[in-house]
Amino acid sequence: MPSSISEPENSTQSVKQAVKRPASSEGWLFSVRWILSHLFVLTMVVTMINLGFWQIRRLEERQERNGEISAVLEAEPQEIEELLALPTLPPDHTPALVVGQYLDEHSFLVANRTYDTEPGNWLVTPMELSDGTVVVISRGWVPRLWAAGVHEQDLSVPEGEVVVLGRAFSSVGGGSIGSDEIAILTELNRLDLDRVRELTGLVVADMWVQLDQQQPGVASLPISVPPESLDDGPHLSYAFQWFFFSAGAIVVYGLILRRRHRESLR
Are 210 and 241 contained in the same domain? no
Residue 86 belongs to some domain of the structure: no
Prediction pTM value: 0.73
Instruction: Tell me which DSSP letter residue 171 carries.
Output: -
Q: Looking at residue 32, what is its pLDDT?
A: 83
Are 46 and 101 contained in the same domain? no
Mean pLDDT by 10 residues, the chain (266 residues): 51 50 62 89 96 97 95 95 95 97 94 91 96 96 79 81 97 63 68 92 95 89 90 95 96 90 76
Are 104 and 207 contained in the same domain? yes
Residue 185 belongs to some domain of the structure: yes
Residue 83 belongs to some domain of the structure: no
Alpha-carbon distance of 37 to 46, in angstroms, equals 14
Q: How many domains does the chain have?
A: 2
- 54 is in which domain, residue-wise? 26-76+236-266
Are 102 and 211 contained in the same domain? yes
Residue 175 belongs to some domain of the structure: yes
